[in-house]
Amino acid sequence: MDIPKLIAAQRAYFETGATRDIAVRRRALQALQASVRRHEEVLCSALRADLGKSVVESYMTEIGIVAGEIRFALRNLKRWMRPRRVPTPLFAWPARSRVRYEPLGVVLVVAPWNYPLQLTLLPLVGALAAGNCVVLKPSPGAPATAAVLSEIVGECFPEELVALVPHAPQAVEELLTQRFDHIFYTGGGTFGREIMVRAAERLTPVTLELGGKSPCVVGAEADLKLAARRIVWGKTLNAGQTCVAPDFLLVHESVCDRLLVELQRAVERQWGSDPRFAVDYPRMVDGAHARRVAELLSTAGGETVCGGEVLEEERYVAPTIVLNPDPQSRLMREEIFAPVLPVLTFAELSEAADALLAADRPLALYYFGDEREGRRLCERVPSGGVAFNDVVMQVSSRRLPFGGVGASGMGRYHGEASFECFSNCRSYFLGSKRFDLPLRYAPYPTRLAAAADGLVAAQHGVRYVAVRDELDRAAVVAQLLLVDDVRIVPVNMTVDADDALHHRGDRPHVVRHHDDGHAAVQLLENAV
């Protein structure tokens, strides 16, 4: 594939203005919707081949999420595209102010292997809804799914609108030498930093959806049976290869022993006595990743409470709990990305918060227990997202923006946040020729004196208030005129008895609404 030629063709198409049309955007989304529906069975087979996912998990975490995102975008696209009226400061009256979300141009989406369908197509939905042309680069780590994605994109879109770049040596490197209007990357932090460096050469904005070690704190008052069931589900989903999976547990020392028992029970209830033979238990993406997990476990220290089995040839890692691993081990320093759960204890919530603050900012923070205690923790410990008494489910809401903070990423997407991510939030100031406020023009002293005295008098219900100097006058005018919660009304407007009304002749009044529901009437005095 000739990448420079492809991007030039997309840019030429974008510059025709075709993608600004809501009908073009809707047709693109509808085509994607129909194609994903037609390919559901083959997608399930591909996800099984790449990651050992069951049909239920494939639909729940991949196909269904994509389908829901498309429906949501189609249902809300007209509203998202509508220009938004915002107030205009009195100083600029009677101008109008608008905000429009406009397409960026040609954008690049670089996707990972762990959710190869969802994390390729969700950004695509947002980019198309926002009116962009898109270059997709799926991960070679999930080749079967990438092949189906190539079919879907090929039958849905002309290359000048959406193109998928197949795996080839140095393909990503070549893409990063090109000019894009936005780069959206999901994956590891190391390559995320490289993308940011390369994007900086052209001042290209980036969205980085990274990962990190998302902690799960279990308080003394937690429902341990519920916590165990949900933690095990979130940790074994996609064999732990989920960026928001609980990476490790911090458990109050008073409930640790009981929680360990409940965790083991939850593993057996969900996956049987030997998960290796559970039909729906997922696998590592490849043998190398399984081998890495074995190395993490062999150097972790602590006590393996359950699991620990790793079969590289089968890409199998058993659900594993490690109690009190060495804090300096690779298991505690690296993102695990496997169904391995380290467990540590704490005595006081402040102790847990201190430990979390000493680490990188996580993508997710989980707390099981009293919600008030959870809020206390969250006030101290930043994260991309938060869930109380649950794990992973915050990702499922299209009305909750998803993204990281610090080392876990930057930027937000999902639902309307995706539309905004791939849009230029453009300001429109619509000036008026009907009225021209002289205050902005020199000579300033004369005009400021008249305006400041008059405005202060109107504000305070007195005929005259002394103003010491030119700086005071400028401050008064700025304070009272550079506001945007105002509206112009006729001189003869009826106001409440509590409102002070000051006017001279037929000059306009400005009514400013306060929290108490009354209107304070301000007079422009000699400013006009």
Distance (Å, whole) CA 374 – CA 367: 6
pLDDT of residue 58: 97
For 52-90, what is each residue's pLDDT tens digit? 999 999 999 999 999 999 999 999 999 999 999 998 877
Least confident window among 99-113, 162-176, 222-236: 162-176
Distance (Å, whole) CA 420 – CA 414: 10
pLDDT of residue 252: 98
Tell me, yes or no, if 209 is annotated catalytic: yes
Residues of the chain with CATH 3.40.605.10: 3-210+418-427
The length of the chain, given as a count of residues: 528
Catalytic residue among 44, 133, 156, 243: 243
Whether 467 shows a pLDDT value over 60: the answer reads no
pLDDT of residue 477: 59
Least confident window among 235-239, 328-332, 406-410, 471-475: 471-475
Return the higher-pLDDT residue of 517 and 172: 172
Cβ(47)–Cβ(85) under 8 Å?
Answer: no
Whether 519 shows a pLDDT value over 70: the answer reads no
What mean pLDDT is predicted for residues 403-412?
A: 96
Q: Give the pLDDT band of residue 481 (cuts 50, 70, 90).
A: low
Distance (Å, whole) CA 428 – CA 80: 16
CATH number of the 3-210+418-427 domain:
3.40.605.10
What mean pLDDT is predicted for residues 46-55?
A: 97
pLDDT of residue 505: 36
Cβ(520)–Cβ(514) under 8 Å?
Answer: yes
Which runs of consecutive H residues, i.e. helices, occur in 108-253? 118-129, 143-156, 171-175, 189-200, 224-236
pLDDT of residue 450: 58
CATH of 215-395, one of 3.40.309.10, 3.20.20.80, 3.30.70.141, 3.40.1800.10: 3.40.309.10
Distance (Å, whole) CA 320 – CA 315: 15
Catalytic residue among 57, 69, 160, 209: 209
pTM for the full predicted model: 0.87
Q: Name the nearest CA neighbour of 186 among 286, 258, 118, 133.
A: 118
Q: Give the pLDDT band of residue 454 (cuts 50, 70, 90).
A: low
Q: How are strands ordered across the β-sheet holding 206-209? A: 162-164, 133-137, 106-110, 182-186, 206-209, 409-410
Distance (Å, whole) CA 295 – CA 312: 11
pLDDT of residue 471: 59
Cβ(426)–Cβ(100) under 8 Å?
Answer: yes
Cβ(145)–Cβ(50) under 8 Å?
Answer: yes
Distance (Å, whole) CA 469 – CA 475: 10
Whether 12 shows a pLDDT value over 70: the answer reads yes
What mean pLDDT is predicted for residues 89-111?
A: 91
Cβ(122)–Cβ(65) under 8 Å?
Answer: yes
What mean pLDDT is predicted for residues 444-473?
A: 52
- Average predicted confidence (pLDDT) for the chain: 88
- DSSP H or E run through 78: helix 64-81
Q: How are strands ordered across the β-sheet holding 519-523? A: 486-489, 509-513, 519-523
Judged by phi (left if over 0) then psi (alpha if -120 to 50, else beta), residue 471 lies in alpha
Angle at 439 between CA 435 and CA 445, to 5 degrees: 155
pLDDT of residue 100: 97
Q: Give the pLDDT band of residue 367 (cuts 50, 70, 90).
A: very high
Best-predicted range by mean pLDDT among 369-378, 458-467, 487-496?
A: 369-378
Whether 457 shows a pLDDT value over 70: the answer reads no
What mean pLDDT is predicted for residues 138-163?
A: 97
Helices 118-129 + 64-81 axis angle, to 10: 10
Residues of the chain with CATH 3.40.309.10: 215-395
What mean pLDDT is predicted for residues 493-519?
A: 36
Return the higher-pLDDT residue of 522 and 167: 167
Return the higher-pLDDT residue of 303 and 451: 303
Return the higher-pLDDT residue of 476 and 176: 176
3-state secondary structure of 245: coil
What mean pLDDT is predicted for residues 178-198?
A: 96
pLDDT of residue 440: 72
Distance (Å, whole) CA 103 – CA 525: 44
What mean pLDDT is predicted for residues 202-230?
A: 97
* Structure-token pair, residue 37: 């529906």
What mean pLDDT is predicted for residues 187-191?
A: 94
Whether 455 shows a pLDDT value over 60: the answer reads no
Q: Name the nearest CA neighbour of 76 among 124, 130, 152.
A: 130
For 364, other C-beta atoms within 10 Å of its C-beta total: 29
Strand ranges inside 242-400, DSSP E: 248-252, 303-306, 310-311, 316-317, 320-323, 340-346, 364-368, 385-388
- DSSP H or E run through 209: strand 206-209
Return the higher-pLDDT residue of 79 and 522: 79
Q: Name the nearest CA neighbour of 395 among 409, 413, 383, 378.
A: 413
